[in-house]
């Protein structure tokens, strides 16, 4: 028999063999009748009832749901039960813990701040202390991560934790036993008067207690007869929409539209101001940047569309989708996008996205930077088909964040490759922490940021930083150091002010030469803030 005929015969035999395996006996096709369900649940039912081995159905579902939800939009998300508490903690009004702020440096917990009247202050912990033992177990090295530290230090109210503390100047470890208590989570850490005329408030997020904190800030401005208000929403990634609505209401006239929401399964809902706001006539400026998102954009959008104030900064993030949590019996949660929100003029500021392409969506800010958008307003291409009109007829655009009325570029003029290495390596935080350890007693005598800044200006801190960085592998570049001298010095000073005097004095200091804040003050002084 010829070779070709033999090959053909073998092929036919094998084909028949495999076809027989597929079609005979238990391998015959079973037709699934239309049960009224969907294909996914039917697949799970088939696996559970017919698969050759036992299958971990719960594990399969946990892996499947995130993939399904991620195909919807960038902000719909599945949260496993074990992660829900940590995910929600940032927006809650309090948590149970020991009352410190800390950083991880050299694989050790460094206490950067002790919360006033909290459990740690009551037993005598100090800023600058290092936690090296937790409940008699050594807690340094690779095990000392931020998540691990939070888990060990947090705990039920009334429970105790024992800490071994290394304090500068003390030879032996100090032991402290601390009873955990409720620790308030503040979302407004800076509210003060600029030049005794302008109220300034920096809002970090929109959490459960943010509106109550905001009212305290407004009361401070009333007491000081503020002639205008600056609301700083830069870096504010959002939070609860209802809180943003309450805050916007303080500045709008009765029946001014704050926003409206609608979706395929959600009826259109219009939110309006009730007319009881305390500052309906006060000149207003809102500061934003590319990291101002969601609830921050609600406030910026309604102030802009109602011609109620001036928006200053850079184009915001562009999140115009509304999520609602749906909780399962096991405690896991799906945060599902149920609607889009629209500013009073009718624009949706959600930036474009491709379903399932979270990587491309998250890369958008980097793309904006590379296009030069952080440095030039002219690099931003607006879509004329998405043009809308404010109450007074000014043109605004949808489809990608809130474009400010006054653009302020990112200030990078004094940055060099050397200074970027210093900042990205965390070298300033490490240096200032050690500097404060050695000099804390003297530094703590200073009253306010002005005294401390003046004292620090007489010290060779930049040169000390350069040598500190050199000892850790960053070679000096004298020409670049000279060019970046002022920005390095101010960063050193601001870090020391924060560690010694806290967030409020720190913000006051950095605002002294913040271009966006200075532009806001200029607009208010000229009476150009749309009163």
Secondary structure of residue 111 in the 3-state scheme: strand
Could you give the CA distance from residue 406 to residue 315 in angstroms, rounded to a whole number?
10
Secondary structure of residue 96 in the 3-state scheme: strand
Buried b (16+ CB within 10 A) or exposed e, 50-69: eeeeeeeeeeeeeeeeeeeb
* Dihedral, 381, 385, 386, 392 alpha carbons, nearest 10: 100
* Cβ pair 368, 290 in contact under 8 A: yes
Nearby residues of 155 by Cβ (< 8 Å), 6 or more positions away: 96, 97, 161, 180
Neighbouring C-beta atoms of residue 455, cutoff 10 Å:
16
Share in percent of the chain as helix, strand, coil (round to 5)? 40, 20, 40
Nearby residues of 182 by Cβ (< 8 Å), 6 or more positions away: 94, 95, 96, 157
DSSP assignment string, 2-45 = -HHHHHHHHHHHHHHHHHHHHHSGGGS--PPP--SS-HHHHHHH
Could you give the CA distance from residue 57 to residue 65 in angstroms, rounded to a whole number?
12
The continuous run of DSSP H or E covering 303 comes out as helix 295-305
**SS3 labels along 410-456:** CCCCCCCHHHHHHHHCCHHHHHHHHHHHHHHHHHCCCCHHHHHHHHH
Could you give the CA distance from residue 351 to residue 397 in angstroms, rounded to a whole number?
11
Which positions are annotated as active-site residues? 294, 305, 319
Q: Are strands 333-342 and 257-263 parallel, antiparallel or unpaired?
A: antiparallel
Strand partners, 492: none
């Amino acid at each position: 028999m010829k070779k070709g005929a033999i090959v053909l015969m073998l092929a036919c035999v094998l084909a028949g063999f495999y076809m027989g395996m597929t079609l005979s006996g238990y391998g015959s096709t079973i037709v699934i009748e239309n049960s009224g369900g969907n294909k996914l649940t039917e697949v799970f039912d088939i696996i559970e009832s017919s698969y050759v081995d036992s299958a971990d159905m719960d594990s399969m579902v946990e892996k499947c749901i995130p993939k399904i939800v991620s195909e919807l939009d960038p902000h719909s998300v599945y949260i496993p039960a074990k992660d829900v508490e940590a995910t929600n903690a940032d927006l809650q009004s309090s948590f149970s813990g020991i009352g410190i702020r800390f950083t991880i440096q050299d694989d050790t917990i460094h206490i950067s701040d002790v919360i006033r009247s909290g459990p740690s202050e009551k037993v005598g912990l100090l800023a600058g202390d290092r936690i090296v033992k937790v409940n008699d177990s050594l807690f340094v090295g690779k095990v000392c991560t931020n998540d691990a530290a939070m888990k060990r230090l947090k705990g039920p109210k009334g429970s105790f934790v024992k800490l071994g503390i290394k304090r500068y100047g003390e030879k032996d470890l100090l032991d402290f036993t601390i009873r955990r208590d409720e620790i308030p989570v503040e979302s407004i850490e800076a509210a003060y008067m600029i030049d005794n005329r302008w109220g300034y408030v920096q809002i970090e997020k929109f959490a459960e207690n943010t509106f109550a904190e905001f009212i305290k800030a407004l009361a401070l401005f009333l007491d000081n007869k503020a002639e205008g208000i600056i609301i700083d929403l830069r870096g504010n990634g959002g939070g609860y929409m209802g809180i943003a609505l309450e805050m916007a209401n303080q500045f709008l006239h009765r029946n001014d539209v704050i926003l409206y929401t609608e979706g395929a399964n959600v009826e259109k809902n219009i939110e309006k101001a009730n007319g009881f706001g305390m500052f309906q006539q006060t000149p207003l400026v809102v500061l934003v940047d590319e990291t101002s998102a969601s609830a921050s954009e609600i406030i910026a959008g309604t102030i802009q569309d109602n011609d109620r104030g001036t928006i200053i900064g850079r184009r915001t993030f562009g999140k115009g989708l509304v999520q609602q949590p749906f909780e399962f019996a096991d405690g896991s949660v799906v945060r599902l996008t149920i609607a889009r929100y629209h500013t009073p003029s009718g624009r949706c500021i959600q930036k474009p996205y491709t379903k399932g392409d979270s990587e491309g969506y998250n890369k958008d800010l980097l793309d904006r930077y590379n296009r030069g958008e952080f440095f030039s307003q002219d690099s931003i291409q607006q879509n004329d088909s998405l043009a809308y009109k404010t109450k007074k007829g000014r043109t605004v655009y949808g489809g990608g964040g809130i474009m400010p009325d006054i653009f302020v570029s990112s200030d990078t003029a004094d940055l060099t490759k050397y200074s970027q290495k210093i900042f990205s390596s965390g070298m300033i935080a490490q240096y200032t922490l050690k500097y404060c350890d050695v000099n804390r007693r003297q530094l703590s005598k200073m009253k306010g940021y002005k005294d401390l800044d003046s004292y620090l200006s007489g010290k060779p801190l930049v040169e000390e930083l350069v040598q500190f960085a050199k000892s850790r592998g960053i070679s000096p570049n004298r020409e670049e150091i000279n060019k970046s001298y002022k920005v390095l010095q101010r960063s050193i000073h601001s870090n020391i002010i924060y560690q010694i005097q806290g967030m409020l004095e720190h913000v006051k200091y950095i605002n002294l030469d913040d271009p966006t804040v200075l532009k806001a003050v200029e607009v208010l002084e000229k009476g150009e803030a749309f009163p």
